[in-house]
Structure 1
Amino acid sequence: MAGQVLAEAEGVREDPGGFDLLAPDGTGYRVDVTGGVFSPDNPLLAEYVAGRRVAAFVGPTVDRIYGERLREYLTTRLEPGSWSVHTIATGERNKSLTSVEEVCATAKAAGLDRHGVMLAVGGGIVADIVGFAASMYARGIRYIKVNTSLVGQVDVGVGVKTGVNALHTKNMFGAYHPAHASLNDPALLDTLPAREIRCGLAEIVKMAVILDGELFRTLERHPDAFLRTRPSAGAGAKAGGGDVETYIVRTSMRLMMEELCPNLREHDLARLVDFGHTFSPVIETAGGHRLAHGEAVAVDMALSAHLALLLGLTDAETCERIVTLLERIGLPVYDAATCTPELMTQALRASWQRRGRKLHLVVPTALGKAAFVDELDDIPADTLRAALDALAERAAGATREVRRDG
């Protein structure tokens, strides 16, 4: 039944309809995989609402594409006058305390009480803003996520963290606030632009590198996953629900939930899922968010792989396969404006401070395996510079190749 966690023992249990998680601290939640989430014939979302008042929040693009279907669903399934839909600004610059306060003010004006539900329909940024607002509103109310992006479905949508950027720092303020429900409809991925698909694939590559060599090899065989055309649906339609894509997305969701489960509230600050998330916060913020989150994560993973090679923690083939896969997907592996020794040293020190005076830099040791570099002194300045130089030369070589072909 909707709203109940079905897992009977600690850990993650998968079934055709999704995943149940029960953490050692007793926290339990479910992530559903469903088709036609906004079809009036699908009762799932309405069952999770269970007669409560709803304030729904969507980004402008999602509202343009799915807003009519969302309103039709709510009209059909919920009591008249019990719901409202509101558009909020998206993008990293709007992932702020101001946006959280605006969501709370909108919910209050809509008459949302302590038994009400905030509904976030969108990607990771909408989920983060609305989830954080729900954690504070009336000291905490329920919220539901309908994840419309690939990042949302494999990353933000399966965890319990919410947060916003502040004090020139990514995700400086936030809370651990499990969603009452997290709904993933693979068909929602069909309308995503290619750049957002690639950003989601960056998070999937992350999980493959640290935990699952077979997933990595699948991505090598299908670097165009979620971007391929589906002839039966017409030119330009994407394959969001093919067998390969289903395997990739469900494996990524399961791996993320299994990795999060024993350490859901991050009492242990050494986390394998932080691969790609040591240098990337500075790459994002110092670059004025010119690179999207997934793109910054890709650059971080390429740099971390080269550091692993130079430190003798992995071999040249593993490093090359990781960086090559990112390139084949269409992700950047170097950013000249931010990949400077000064900024990347700053990123290391910021991570060291944030992680309790331990670096906990995640580096690949083999495909599907990773280790931690825990001390700042374990990464000498000349090693960091050499890794950056290697990526700069690679980027320059790629530019020369493009000019030659052109």
Structure 2
Amino acid sequence: MANDVLAPGNPLLADYCEGRRVVAFLSPTVDRLYGQQLRAYLGARLAPDSWSAVVLEGGEQRKTMASVEEICARAKLAGLDRRGVMLAVGGGVTCDLVGFAAAIYCRGVRYMKVNTTLVGQVDVGVGVKTGVNALGIKNMLGAYHPAHASLNDRAFLRTLSPRQIRCGLGEIAKMAIIKDAALFRVLEECPEVFQRPDPSSAWLTQAGLGRRGVEDYVIRTSMALMMEELCPNLREHDLARLADFGHTFGPVIETAGEYRIAHGESVAIDMALSSQLARVLGLIDAEDCERILSLLIALGLPVHDAGTCTPDLMNRALEDSWERRGRRLHLVVPEGIGSGVFVDDLDDIPAGALDEALRALDARAKAQSAPLVTVR
């Protein structure tokens, strides 16, 4: 966490570059907002002719091996050697692409990222996975390639659209639901955090947790929870991972919807469905299930999508996860606010349980005007 990362007087980013040749990659949007500032910083802090900046087309449709090859080609053209640095400045797609390219370029070069979205700061920026979509499956190809540095500056969040903020809140809610009841309560009380000023609630301040404001508490707590979950199992030798909450049905929802549903929105729909399924299975009571759904709706996130939340597609999502996770399901579901458990096998879900959960979710979305995904 840092302030004014791209200010010429701040040595942090340049110090991590350690005098190496740098190729910076950024999306057109980031280039429009911060490209001039980035180039001014690199020009002021790095040696002449030791850096270049490349604008990459973004979006999930461009998250392909062809884009990775383009990144490698641009790095070669810029003279990047095995001691060089690939610098990603942007959101999750940019960081995934550049990270994967860095993992395979010359069999691996140093990779750094400046995370400019809320999803990037609390999720992509914390983990070590990189990857692209391939063979009809989200993130089918990739590598574990830890960043040499991952820098978060909350000032970047001020230029995000409300939808991008909501997507980040989906990833934050994920960690709250399965690991931290206090964070869940803060999100309930401040559902518009990062969108408008929110004073810390009295109980949070009294507990000594909100001294630097609710935004700081939410982002730091979410990052800490993610690191706590990931670090003991960084390369996923154990495929039962609480951090996979929201990521069993979600990938199929995204691909089947041709990416009209953003990642954070698919995570929210998955969490809603997983919570309803947990209720059907008797793993969570109806009151806690309702609190989870109400929180997601209050955050402005969808809890259902009629076009993709069909029995056929959601059963396929379970089967895909079972196959990908070593023929064990490891479906993460809540068992209460701040606690999660695993449904480990397909046989643990009785016939009709998923259909019942889908019907309940459809009815819940219709009953209380939950946000629906209709446009990009």
**Which TM-score band (shorter chain)?**
over 0.9
Go from structure 1 to structure 2 and tell me whether the alpha carbon gap of 1:167 and 1:205 turns closer, same or farther (over 3 Å shift): same
* Aligned residues of 2:303 and 2:370 also touching (Cα < 8 A): no
Per-residue deviation, residues 181-214 of structure 1 (Å, max 9, x unmatched):
1000011111110000000000000000111000
Residue 75 in 1 paired to residue 11 in 2?
no
Letter in 2 for 1:288: E
The answer to whether 1:107 aligns with 2:90 is: no
Give 1:363's aligned residue: 333
Residue 175 of structure 2 aligns with which residue?
207
CA–CA distance in structure 2, aligned partners of residues 255 and 398 of structure 1: 31
Mark the runs of 5 or more structure 2 residues left unpaired by the alignment: 199-210
Q: 1:184 aligns with which of 152, 173, 178?
A: 152
1:276 aligns with 2:246: yes
The separation in 2 between residues aligned to 1:167 and 1:269, in whole angstroms, is 21
Query: How many Å apart are 1:400 and its aligned residue?
Result: 11
- Per the alignment, residue 324 of structure 2 pairs with 354
TM-score, normalization by structure 2: 0.94
After superposition, residues 15-34 of structure 1 pair within 5 angstroms as 33-34=1-2
**Greater Cα shift, 189-198 or 373-382:** 373-382
AA of the residue aligned to 2:307: A
What is the match of residue 21 of structure 1?
none
What is the CA deviation profile of residues 280-328 of structure 1, one whole-angstrom value per residue up to 9, with x for unaligned ones?
0000000111100000000000000001111000111110000100001
2:54 is paired with a residue whose SS is: strand
Q: CA deviation at 1:399?
A: 4.6
Distance across 1 between alignment mates of 2:193 and 2:162: 11
Question: What letter is aligned with 1:132?
Answer: F
Q: CA RMSD in A?
A: 1.6
Instruction: Label 1:379 to 1:56 Cα distance change in 2 as closer, same or farther (>3 A).
Output: same
AA matched with 1:43: P
Matched, 1:125 2:97: no
1:250 matched to 2:220: yes
Deviation, structure 1 residue 378 = 1.2
Query: Equivalent residue for 1:237?
Result: none
- Aligned-pair CA distance for 1:373: 0.2
- Pair 1:321–1:400, CA change in 2 (3 A): closer
User: What is aligned with 2:235?
Assistant: 265
2:84–2:109 CA contact under 8 A, matched in 1: yes
Letter of the 1:164 partner, please give it: V
Any residues of structure 2 matched to 1:105-254 within 5 Å, and which? 105-228=73-196, 243-254=213-224
Contact persistence 2:193–2:215 (CA under 8 A): yes
Give the Å deviation of 1:397: 1.9
Query: Which residue number in structure 1 is paired with residue 206 of structure 2?
Result: none
2:298 to 316, 319, 328: 328
| 1:12 match | none
Does the residue aligned with 1:285 lie in a helix, a strand or coil?
Answer: helix
In the superposition, the TM-score normalised over structure 1's length comes to: 0.87
CA shift, 1:394, in A, is: 1.6
Which whole-Å CA distance do the structure 1 matches of 2:366 and 2:121 have between them? 35
Q: Which amino acid aligns with 1:303?
A: L
Q: CA deviation at 1:398?
A: 3.0
Match of 1:20 in 2: none
Partner residue, 1:310: 280
Q: What displacement does 1:242 show?
A: 6.7
Identity among equivalent pairs (%): 66
Offset of residue 401 of structure 1: 12
- Number of the residue aligned with 1:25: none
Any idea what SS the aligned residue of 1:253 has?
Answer: helix
Shift of the alpha carbon at 1:381? 3.2
Structure 1 stretch displaced more, 387-396 or 321-330: 387-396
Deviation at 1:349, TM superposition (A): 0.1
The residue identity in structure 1 corresponding to 2:170 is A
The structure 2 residue matched to 1:92, chosen from 40, 43, 60, is: 60
| Deviation of 1:380 (Å) | 2.2
Query: Where do 1:381-396 residues align within 5 Å?
Result: 381-396=351-366
2: CA distance between counterparts of 1:206 and 1:329?
Answer: 12
Q: Distance in 1 between matches of 2:237 and 2:23?
A: 32
The 3-state SS of whatever aligns with 1:358 is coil
- Alignment length, in residue pairs? 361
Match of 2:7 among 39, 47, 54: 39
* Residues 354-380 of structure 1: CA deviation (Å, up to 9, x unaligned): 000000000000111010001101112
Give me the whole-angstrom Cα distance separating, in 1, the residues matched to 2:212 and 2:119: 18
Aligned to 2:24: 56
* Gap runs ≥5 in structure 1: 1-32, 231-240
Q: Distance in 1 between matches of 2:77 and 2:251?
A: 35
Does structure 1 conserve the Cα–Cα contact (< 8 Å) formed by 2:297 and 2:371? no
Give the match for residue 307 of structure 2: 337
Q: Which digits, 9 at most, give the CA deviation of each residue in 1:210-243, with x for residues without a partner?
A: 110000000000000001159xxxxxxxxxx971
Q: Measure, in 1, the Cα distance between the counterparts of 2:370 and 2:293.
A: 18
Counterpart amino acid of residue 328 in structure 1 = A
Aligned to 1:30: none
Deviations 1:120-153 (A, max 9, x none): 0000110000000000000000011000000110
